[in-house]
């Protein structure tokens, strides 16, 4: 068998605002993303997500499972399973760490000619992982989702993707 590694990614999503972190070092450096990392041995995915949110943003939240991503890279023996979590409320003070600089973004939709009433910048998709554009709208709409993304070997860009919303 090939190998699968479990990761988490957590977002604070309020009315029309989302908290992202600017990754200062390591994997995904200089990209905006949620807060998360590897699930450590003996830890559940929820425990890992809660721990990483605290480590990277300084806050605690009652996280709700929001979706699953499965990433495969051409020619790699490792695939990534990422549990996405969301919370509206948090406790503690949002804190910049060595790894992440947290920042709020707005996701309100404005129609043509309408004044943008938020002073926050819009979600910076051009400075995020390419796949985020495909599932972030589902996260913001509070629709549970699952998706698979295949990355190309040469340049790490998406070669194939599939996303669905969860039906019960």
Q: Which parts of this chain interact with Na ion (CB under 5 A)? A: 37-38
In the complex, residue closest to Na ion by CB: 37
State the binding string over 33-62 for ligand 6U4 (x if CB under 6 A, else -): x--xxx------------------------
90 binds, among Na ion, ligand 6U4, none (CB under 5 to 8 A by kind): none
83 sits near ligand 6U4 (criterion: CB under 6 A): no
Q: Kindly tell me which residue out of 13, 82, 123, 139 binds ligand 6U4, with binding defined by CB under 6 A.
A: 82
What backbone torsions phi and psi does residue 135 show, to the nearest 5 degrees? Answer: -115, -15
Among the candidate windows 25-33, 57-65, 87-95, 137-145, which touches ligand 6U4 by CB under 6 A?
25-33
Which tokens in the block code for residue 30?
């200089």
| Distance in angstroms (rounded) separating the CA atoms of residues 99 and 56 | 7
List the one residue out of 143, 145, 148, 144 whose CA is nearest residue 131: 148
Whole-number Cα distances in Å, 161 to 42, 65, 73: 31, 21, 12
């Amino acid at each position: 068998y090939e190998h699968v590694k479990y990761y988490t990614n957590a977002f604070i999503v309020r009315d029309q605002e989302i908290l992202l972190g600017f990754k200062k070092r390591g994997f995904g450096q200089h990209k905006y993303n949620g807060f998360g990392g590897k699930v450590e041995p003996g830890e559940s995915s929820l425990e890992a997500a809660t721990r990483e949110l605290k480590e990277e943003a300084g806050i605690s939240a009652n996280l709700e499972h929001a979706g699953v991503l499965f990433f495969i890279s051409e020619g790699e023996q490792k695939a990534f399973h990422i549990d996405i979590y969301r919370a509206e409320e948090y406790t503690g003070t949002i804190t910049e760490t060595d790894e992440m600089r947290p920042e709020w973004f707005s996701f309100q939709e404005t129609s043509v000619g309408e004044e943008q009433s938020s002073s926050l910048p819009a979600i910076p998709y051009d400075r995020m992982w390419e796949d985020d554009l495909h599932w972030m709208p589902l996260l913001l709409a509070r629709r549970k989702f699952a998706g698979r993304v295949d990355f190309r070997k040469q340049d790490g860009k998406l070669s194939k993707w599939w996303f669905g919303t969860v039906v019960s």
